[in-house]
Amino acid sequence: DRDVTGVQTCALPIYFKLHGANGADVRLDQFQGKTVLFLFGFTHCANICPTSLTNLTEVYQALTPEERKQVQVVFISVDPNRDTPQTLEQYVTSFDPSFIGLTGTKPAIDQTVLAYGGSYEMVAGPTNQPNDYSVNHSAYTYLVNPSGKLELLYGNEKLAEVPKMVSDIRTVLHEPRS
């Protein structure tokens, strides 16, 4: 095993099918041949999501232009009530124009979160109004290799280790494809 920033997992094929900016279906296998970094969150998140995306922006920008062409950052919303595809596009592209935001129906989101061992729950705000809530969610970033298999899982604190993450991505980019 190599020394990696995250926890190495077994290389199982993984899958999702959600909606992108124009409402079109986006599947993980559409990124075959690229390294994909994705995380779950929501646009109204006060701390974790913007910090994670800021850190991923630093990691992405530290790659060479050629390496960036082989990497895709994806933010998957667990708040389909407020996070429309257009809202997500505006949010994620404010960090980097190449980042993609995805959402879907609650069952599709639940299936995706469950498939990756994530979690989330809606927490009512003090007014109990329909849009007065927050979302507690797992704060992992998943690295999927160019063959479409889960390679690494990063805890939120590891995203700030930019040189180590860049090294991990470069290692994955240069692995033989299966």
pLDDT at 3: 38
Distances (CA, A) of 58 to 3, 40, 103: 21, 18, 24
Residue 82, pLDDT score: 93
pLDDT at 19: 87
- pLDDT of amino acid 28: 84
What does the pLDDT look like over 56-75, one tens digit per residue?
999 999 999 999 999 999 99
- pTM equals 0.88
Q: How confident is the model at residue 142 (pLDDT cuts 50, 70, 90)?
A: very high
The answer on pLDDT for 133 being more than 60 is yes
Which pLDDT tens digit goes with each residue over 85-97? 999 999 999 999 9
